[in-house]
């Protein structure tokens, strides 16, 4: 099998890696576990919905999103997010490249975000930088 390497100018619409979203049935228990076992600090928490955790030394952020009991955690998988200064611009660029993005949404008091799937079905997220 021969793989053709296609080089193209990378879009300048991404600022940096943002975070990874993980899912939990019990948000309080998950927050405590990441703090106690791995040394993460909670930077913001919306009770029973989502928590943003940051690890200073690793320079990585995780969002923990609560899902209903009974929902299978494995069906979601971790979701890497990319920061962008203009979510609508990135969606337009990706659309021109044949990528279907979900309609942007924004949690109460949170940043706008969207997501899309890669060629293998992996979910990737976009987050508008504040």
State pLDDT tens for residues 33-67. 899 998 899 999 999 999 999 999 878 899 999 98
In angstroms, rounded to a whole number, what is the distance separating the alpha carbons of residues 70 and 83?
31
Ordered structural domains, the chain, with CATH: 16-128 (3.10.180.10)
pTM: 0.68
> What is the model's pLDDT at position 2?
62
In angstroms, rounded to a whole number, what is the distance separating the alpha carbons of residues 61 and 36?
16
| pLDDT above 70 (res 93) | yes
Question: Could you give phi then psi for residue 5, rounded to 5 degrees?
Answer: -90, 120
Of residues 75, 58, 74, the one with CA closest to residue 19 = 58
Residue 36's SS3 state is helix
What Cα–Cα distance (Å) separates residue 58 from each residue in 28, 90, 93?
22, 27, 31
């Amino acid at each position: 099998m021969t793989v053709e390497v296609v080089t193209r100018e990378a879009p300048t619409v991404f600022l940096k890696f943002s975070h990874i979203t993980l899912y939990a049935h019990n948000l309080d228990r998950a927050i405590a576990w990441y703090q106690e076992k791995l040394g993460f600090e909670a930077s913001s928490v919306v009770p029973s919905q989502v928590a943003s955790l940051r690890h200073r030394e690793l320079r990585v952020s995780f969002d923990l999103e609560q899902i209903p009991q009974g929902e299978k955690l494995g069906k979601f998988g971790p979701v890497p997010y990319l920061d962008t200064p203009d979510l609508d611009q990135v969606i337009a660029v990706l659309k021109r490249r044949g990528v279907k993005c979900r309609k942007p949404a924004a949690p109460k008091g949170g940043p706008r975000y969207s997501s899309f799937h890669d060629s293998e079905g992996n979910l990737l997220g976009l987050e508008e930088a504040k």
